[in-house]
């Protein structure tokens, strides 16, 4: 918090006091123990279309969430009213909620809360960027995408950023706060027209707008769409499959959610009871890292005040462990891995990934393609979360991409499904590519391309 | 009760237009929510809360300036209006120097029809369109817990193979008020209640899940006696799928079940009819208004006024009364779904589809309850004519790329059709295709319309959306299976 007063970074100090009031309000209303989480943010979002601003949003938000314990029962209340009366009312909601819960012997505040040292969460450079320069950045993203011959439309080019502060306090005397900044831009480009139209997404992120390469983001959107132009439905086959980093990130996110100790303990994960077992090829390494300096989900502490850390999940082909918060850790007689996550002050903490990393390998993409020989390069999947059975791991998802012929990219394909089961797929990872990148879509994942030995691909 | 008085609303709008604008709007909201679930026999995660906030929007030409704050105090509301106006000013300056005529072509028409001191009465809500018999916030928490336990007991009673059950209860109340520079002052009071059951069945190492949800723009009465029925549907799906065989692969006739089967219409057609996608030519339906896209007899509606339906409201989130819009009439594409801006741009009437997740979001054209009208056929006829095909009763969800209409649906409950009869359940089937292709291939519609409870995500916003249809047969569709 040393740079908390620097330009661009709001101070979380007053939030810490508000969180403290929240704890006191819950205790004086009768809670045995209590925890409060307080947030404040300002954010901007600039959407451009056809060379002009389409929308410009400027927003401020704040709120408090209180978790109250009545013996072994717990309940949660949240609200936007941060006056003394408002906080008391929110504490009351939490206590009323706790009164109807069944007792949970494992529910508790963290025994050893703490704060990890995470570098660079907050960029002072953010404050130096005027709205006009940010608009210019969004326009530059769009221009780069439109500039590629063959691009028929750029549906969206968006820049957004936020400066956020969060604070936590609990009845065991722990209190902490942090500030973070982030900036993000993306574009969605089209290639082709009518029924032949295909889309492509380009993304970039960082702690401030200076970290965003507008041309690269626009070009990525355009190139991903152009690579699919003229796609047709191929015949069904069983073949080697290369997943690009975007698709690998989607699968990694899904696997990460199944490695939550909560899912495991509730019998909703195919990884239940498999700790220490061989679940993948040694090439694949999966890590959750709440302190990664570039990670969009990085923070000094998790949603209940445990110091963040790095947790290997799959290493050397073996399942090393699961993701824990305090409650699930107590249930298994373990330590929390600081994976109590909160989507906002409106949500009670629950187990979730922080930054999920698919550690990159040695092989550049062309080598993966060469090794695949005759196969499929997948650049987009649809319906992953609806098309997967989390307990059995069987999946069947829609996909598009390019054929691989003679070890090189060939004709674009669409309207295909790829099917299999997740463990079968993990065991089939023959090689991991070298090109790792952040994919902040529905989670925070840094992934590299994967070569899978064989998958069932169905087309016509 | 009003959340902000008209005088303040008028001053906010006036200030928002200080540096010009064609239109300004103040949207205020007071929302309360409560949720509790039961998992593995234990009542857990009770959570309640309340939020208040407002957003201000100014439209100038093709540009929208927007901001939101938590809380409804006068100071922050006026400050918000000032900061949105500052955004307008900065862009006008920028636009005049860099884009010349382009930015100047509009923006001189600032007007605040709702002047300070106006005492326009709030538009009365359409009387009794979504009557709430038992406001959930007045129902004792213990009854909600009993409801969860009843669902759990019913699920467990469905057989030894049911290994686990989760029951979820959610209630919400949103009071919204919309004021704009055209003089509109409108309000809506929205109560929603929802009960869902998820069951996990295990036998001989096989594990299958089944779920069922009932929700409505309704009070506790909607779910008070429904636990058994919802649990029954969820467990039936899970148990049935234990006996499932691998799904077939290839081009097959598909009979899609009623109720949640309508998610196919929602994804594959509905999103492409939302006027923002049409405007940006991000829809295959963009030039197709008036075209025959399906056989006569295929009619579809978006109906946000359907009484007590999950996706219904009194007004949309821009103050336009909800209505029933015929989007396909006897196979012909008849209307897109509009918000205020898209309607103005297209010279069409607003259709009451300007929806937003909360005061923190800009309104965009969204579906409400979208469904195919009932036809003449019987379900037996639809299935009886199929020699080899798939009966897709329910979907785990779906996804579409509106620009192409390409869709993918995971079939959560499906069966083989062999020799005109429904035979073995199948697992792992997905339907892959495009909306235009699927519409053109509809060759039979039954009469058993049902509407199910869904959530629709778009532009980072999730809103309740009803999806529905009677049984519908599609002559041929790509089925991606697990049996390669």
Residue-wise pLDDT tens digits, A166-180: 999 999 999 999 999
Q: What integer pLDDT is reported at residue A391 of this predicted model? A: 76
CB-based contact A58 B67, cutoff 8 Å = yes
In a domain, B317, yes or no: yes
CA distance B448 to chain A (A): 26
Q: What integer pLDDT is reported at residue B190 of this predicted model? A: 96
Domain co-membership, B260 together with B218 = no
User: Would you call A166 exposed, middle or buried from its count of C-beta atoms within 10 A (0-12, 13-18, 19+)?
Assistant: buried
Domain co-membership, B280 together with B373 = yes
In a domain, B128, yes or no: no
Domain co-membership, A278 together with A137 = no
CB-based contact B66 A194, cutoff 8 Å = no
Residues in Cβ contact with A28 at an 8 Å cutoff, skipping those fewer than 6 apart: none
Q: Which of A235, A271, A458, A459 to mutate to test the interface with B (most CBs of B within 10 A)?
A: A458
Closest Cα in chain A to B288 = A194
From chain B, the residues in CB contact with A154 under 8 A are: none
In a domain, A5, yes or no: no
CA distance A8 to chain B (A): 18
Domain co-membership, A156 together with A287 = no
pLDDT digits (tens, 9 = 90+) for B251-261: 999 999 999 99
Q: What integer pLDDT is reported at residue A42 of this predicted model? A: 94
Strands (E), B428-471: 430-434, 442-445, 450-458, 461-469
In a domain, A232, yes or no: no
pLDDT digits (tens, 9 = 90+) for A433-445: 999 999 988 789 9
The helix or strand, by DSSP H or E, that contains position B82, with its residue range, turns out to be: helix B74-98
Number of domains in chain B: 2
Q: Is B381 helix (H, G, I), strand (E, B) or coil?
A: helix
Question: In this model, does residue B97 exceed pLDDT 70?
Answer: no
| pLDDT band per the 50, 70, 90 thresholds, residue A386 | low
Domain co-membership, A217 together with A254 = no
User: Would you call B5 exposed, middle or buried from its count of C-beta atoms within 10 A (0-12, 13-18, 19+)?
Assistant: exposed
CB-based contact B249 A458, cutoff 8 Å = yes
Axis-axis angle for helices B6-16, B74-98 (nearest 10): 20
Q: What is the mean pLDDT of residues B211-233?
A: 97
Q: Which of B410, B411, B438, B459 to mutate to test the interface with A (most CBs of A within 10 A)?
A: B410
| pLDDT band per the 50, 70, 90 thresholds, residue B398 | low
From chain A, the residues in CB contact with B250 under 8 A are: 236, 458, 460
Identity of the residue in A61, A99, A386 whose CB atom sits nearest the CB atom of B397: A386
Number of domains in chain A: 2
Specify the pairing of strand A394-405 against strand A286-289.
unpaired
Domain co-membership, B156 together with B296 = no
Domain co-membership, A135 together with A254 = no
Question: In this model, does residue A5 exceed pLDDT 70?
Answer: no
Q: Is B401 on the interface with A (CB under 8 A)?
A: yes
Domain boundary among A170, A205, A226: A226
The model carries a pTM of: 0.91
Domain co-membership, A448 together with A346 = yes
Domain co-membership, B203 together with B234 = yes
Question: In this model, does residue A145 exceed pLDDT 50?
Answer: yes
Domain boundary among B215, B239, B263: B239
Q: What is the mean pLDDT of residues B118-143?
A: 74
pLDDT digits (tens, 9 = 90+) for A107-129: 999 999 999 999 899 999 999 99
CB-based contact B482 A456, cutoff 8 Å = yes
Q: What integer pLDDT is reported at residue B481 of this predicted model? A: 66
Handedness of CA A384, A386, A388, A390 (dihedral sign): positive
Domain co-membership, B276 together with B386 = yes
CB-based contact B43 A101, cutoff 8 Å = yes
Range with lowest mean pLDDT among A290-294, B176-180, B398-402: B398-402
Domain co-membership, A140 together with A285 = no
In a domain, A2, yes or no: no
pLDDT digits (tens, 9 = 90+) for B399-449: 777 777 888 888 889 999 999 999 999 987 889 888 999 999 999 999 999
Q: What integer pLDDT is reported at residue A12 of this predicted model? A: 57
User: Is the Cβ–Cβ distance between B275 and B337 less than 8 Å?
Assistant: yes
In a domain, B233, yes or no: yes
What is chain A's mean pLDDT, rounded? 93
Q: What is the mean pLDDT of residues B226-240?
A: 96
Domain boundary among A201, A226, A251: A226
pLDDT digits (tens, 9 = 90+) for B326-372: 999 999 999 999 999 999 999 999 999 999 999 999 999 999 999 99
CB-based contact A58 B66, cutoff 8 Å = yes
* Dist. CA B294–CA B286, nearest whole Å: 16
Domain co-membership, B397 together with B458 = yes
In a domain, A6, yes or no: no
Size of interface A-B (CB pairs under 8 A): 255
* Domain extent for B368: 246-480
* Dist. CA A256–CA A445, nearest whole Å: 10
A414: its two tokens: 């669409």
CA distance B433 to chain A (A): 6
Domain co-membership, B367 together with B233 = no
Domain co-membership, B234 together with B262 = no
From chain A, the residues in CB contact with B39 under 8 A are: 266
From chain B, the residues in CB contact with A195 under 8 A are: 284, 404-405, 434, 436
Q: What integer pLDDT is reported at residue B111 of this predicted model? A: 39
Domain co-membership, A177 together with A321 = no
* Domain extent for A53: 13-226
Domain co-membership, B421 together with B282 = yes
CA distance A261 to chain B (A): 15
From chain B, the residues in CB contact with A200 under 8 A are: none
Domain co-membership, A269 together with A348 = yes
From chain B, the residues in CB contact with A53 under 8 A are: 63, 91
User: Is the Cβ–Cβ distance between A310 and A118 less than 8 Å?
Assistant: no
Question: In this model, does residue B208 exceed pLDDT 90?
Answer: no
Q: What is the mean pLDDT of residues B376-384?
A: 96
What torsion, rounded to 10 degrees, do the Cα atoms A29, A34, A37, A38 define? 30
B465: its two tokens: 């959306």
Question: In this model, does residue B103 exceed pLDDT 60?
Answer: no
From chain B, the residues in CB contact with A458 under 8 A are: 249-250, 478, 480-481, 484
Identity of the residue in A89, A100, A416 whose CB atom sits nearest the CB atom of B36: A100
Q: What integer pLDDT is reported at residue B437 of this predicted model? A: 93
With pLDDT > 70 as the criterion, what percentage of chain A qualifies? 97
Domain co-membership, B218 together with B318 = no
Domain co-membership, A169 together with A39 = yes
Question: In this model, does residue B454 exceed pLDDT 80?
Answer: yes
pLDDT digits (tens, 9 = 90+) for A44-73: 999 999 999 999 999 999 999 999 999 999
Domain co-membership, B186 together with B290 = no
The full DSSP string for A118-142 is -TTSS-GGGGG--HHHHHHHHHHHH
Q: What is the mean pLDDT of residues B5-16?
A: 96
Strand order in the sheet with B324-329: B332-333, B324-329, B300-303, B369-372, B461-469, B450-458
CB-based contact B408 A419, cutoff 8 Å = no
What is chain B's mean pLDDT, rounded? 90
| pLDDT band per the 50, 70, 90 thresholds, residue B133 | very high
Domain co-membership, B373 together with B267 = yes
In a domain, B78, yes or no: no
Q: What integer pLDDT is reported at residue A394 of this predicted model? A: 82
Q: Which of B3, B46, B81 to mutate to test the interface with A (most CBs of A within 10 A)?
A: B46
In a domain, A7, yes or no: no
Q: What integer pLDDT is reported at residue A242 of this predicted model? A: 98
Query: The CATH number of the domain where B192 resides is what?
Result: 3.30.2290.10
Domain boundary among B239, B264, B298: B239
Domain boundary among A167, A195, A226: A226
From chain A, the residues in CB contact with B144 under 8 A are: 100
């Amino acid at each position: 918090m040393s740079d908390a007063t620097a330009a661009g970074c709001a101070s979380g100090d007053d939030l810490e006091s508000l969180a403290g009031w929240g704890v006191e309000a819950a205790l004086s209303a009768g809670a045995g123990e209590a925890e409060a989480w307080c947030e404040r943010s300002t954010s901007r979002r600039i959407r451009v279309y056809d060379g002009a601003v389409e929308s410009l949003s400027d927003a401020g938000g704040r709120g408090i969430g209180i978790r109250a314990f009545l013996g072994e029962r717990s309940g949660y209340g949240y609200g936007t009213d941060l006056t003394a009366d408002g906080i008391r009312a929110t504490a009351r909601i939490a206590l009323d909620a706790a009164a109807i819960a069944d007792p949970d012997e494992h529910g508790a505040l963290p025994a050893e809360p703490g704060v990890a040292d995470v570098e660079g969460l907050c960029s002072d450079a953010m404050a130096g960027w005027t709205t006009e320069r940010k608009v210019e950045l969004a326009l530059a993203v769009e221009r780069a995408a439109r500039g590629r011959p063959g691009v028929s439309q750029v549906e969206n080019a968006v820049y957004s950023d936020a400066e956020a502060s969060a604070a936590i306090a609990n009845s065991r005397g722990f209190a902490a706060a942090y500030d973070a900044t982030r900036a993000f831009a993306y574009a969605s480009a089209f290639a082709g027209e009518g029924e032949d139209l295909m889309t492509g997404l380009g993304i970039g992120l960082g702690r401030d707008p200076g970290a965003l390469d507008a041309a690269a983001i626009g070009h990525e959107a355009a190139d991903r769409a152009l690579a699919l132009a003229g796609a047709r439905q191929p015949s069904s086959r069983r073949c080697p499959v290369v997943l690009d980093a975007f698709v690998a990130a989607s699968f990694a996110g899904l696997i990460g959610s199944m490695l939550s100790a909560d899912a495991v303990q509730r019998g909703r994960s195919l990884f239940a009871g498999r700790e220490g077992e061989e679940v993948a090829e040694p090439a694949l390494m999966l890590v959750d890292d709440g302190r990664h300096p570039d990670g969009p989900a990085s923070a000094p502490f998790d949603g209940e005040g445990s110091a963040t850390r790095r947790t290997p999940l799959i290493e050397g082909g073996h399942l090393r462990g699961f993701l824990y918060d305090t409650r699930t850790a107590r249930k298994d007689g373990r330590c929390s891995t600081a994976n109590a996550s909160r989507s906002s002050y409106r949500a009670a903490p629950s187990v979730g990934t922080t930054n999920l990393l698919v550690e990159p390998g040695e092989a550049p993409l062309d080598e993966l393609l060469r090794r695949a020989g005759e196969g499929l390069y997948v650049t987009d999947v649809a319906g992953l979360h609806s098309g997967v059975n989390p307990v059995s791991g069987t999946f069947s998802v829609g996909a598009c991409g390019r054929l691989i012929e003679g070890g090189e990219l060939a004709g674009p394909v669409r309207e295909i499904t790829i099917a299999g089961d997740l463990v079968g797929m993990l065991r089939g990872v023959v090689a991991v590519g070298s090109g790792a990148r952040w994919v902040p879509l529905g989670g925070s994942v840094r992934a590299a391309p994967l070569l899978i030995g064989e998958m069932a691909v169905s087309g016509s | 009760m009003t959340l902000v008085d008209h005088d303040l609303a008028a001053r906010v709008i006036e200030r928002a237009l200080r540096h010009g604008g064609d239109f300004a709007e103040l949207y205020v909201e007071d929302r309360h929510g409560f949720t509790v679930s039961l998992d593995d026999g234990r009542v857990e995660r009770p959570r309640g809360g309340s939020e208040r906030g407002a957003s201000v929007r100014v439209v100038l030409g093709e540009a929208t300036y927007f901001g939101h704050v938590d809380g409804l105090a006068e100071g922050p509301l006026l400050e918000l209006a000032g900061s949105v106006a500052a955004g307008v000013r900065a862009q006008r300056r920028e636009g005049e120097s860099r884009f010349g005529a382009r930015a100047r072509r509009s923006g001189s028409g600032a007007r605040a029809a709702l002047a300070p001191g106006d005492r326009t009465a709030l538009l009365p809500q359409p009387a009794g369109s979504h009557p709430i018999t038992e406001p959930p916030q007045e129902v004792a928490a213990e009854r909600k817990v009993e409801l969860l336990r009843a669902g759990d007991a019913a699920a467990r009673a469905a057989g030894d193979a049911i290994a686990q059950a989760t029951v979820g209860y959610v209630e919400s109340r949103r009071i919204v008020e919309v004021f704009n520079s055209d003089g509109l002052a409108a309000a809506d009071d929205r109560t929603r209640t929802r009960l869902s059951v998820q069951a996990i069945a295990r036998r001989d190492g096989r594990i299958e899940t089944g779920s069922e949800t009932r929700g409505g723009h309704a009070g506790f009465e909607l779910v008070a006696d429904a636990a058994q029925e919802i649990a029954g549907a969820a467990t039936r799906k899970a148990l049935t799928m234990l006996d499932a065989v691998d799904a077939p692969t290839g081009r097959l006739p598909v009979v899609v079940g009623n109720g949640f089967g309508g998610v196919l219409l929602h994804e594959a057609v509905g999103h492409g009819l939302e006027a923002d996608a049409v405007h940006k030519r991000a829809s295959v339906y963009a030039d197709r208004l008036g075209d025959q896209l399906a056989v006569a007899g295929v009619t579809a509606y978006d109906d946000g006024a359907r009484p007590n339906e999950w996706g219904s409201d009194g007004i949309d989130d821009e103050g336009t009364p909800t209505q029933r819009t015929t989007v396909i009439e006897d196979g012909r594409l008849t209307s897109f779904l509009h918000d205020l801006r898209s309607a103005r741009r297209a010279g069409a009437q607003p259709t009451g589809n300007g929806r937003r997740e909360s005061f923190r979001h800009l309104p965009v054209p969204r579906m409400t309850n979208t469904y195919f009208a009932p036809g003449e056929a019987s379900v037996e006829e639809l299935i009886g004519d199929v020699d080899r095909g798939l009966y897709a009763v329910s979907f785990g969800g779906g996804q579409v790329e509106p620009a192409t209409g390409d869709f993918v649906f995971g079939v959560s409950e499906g069966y083989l059709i062999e020799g005109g009869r429904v035979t073995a359940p199948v697992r792992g089937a997905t339907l892959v295709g495009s909306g235009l292709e699927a519409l053109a291939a509809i060759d039979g519609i039954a009469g058993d319309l049902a509407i199910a409870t869904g959530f629709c995500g778009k532009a980072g916003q999730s809103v309740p959306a009803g999806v529905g249809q009677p049984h519908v047969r599609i002559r041929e569709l790509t089925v991606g299976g697990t049996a390669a």
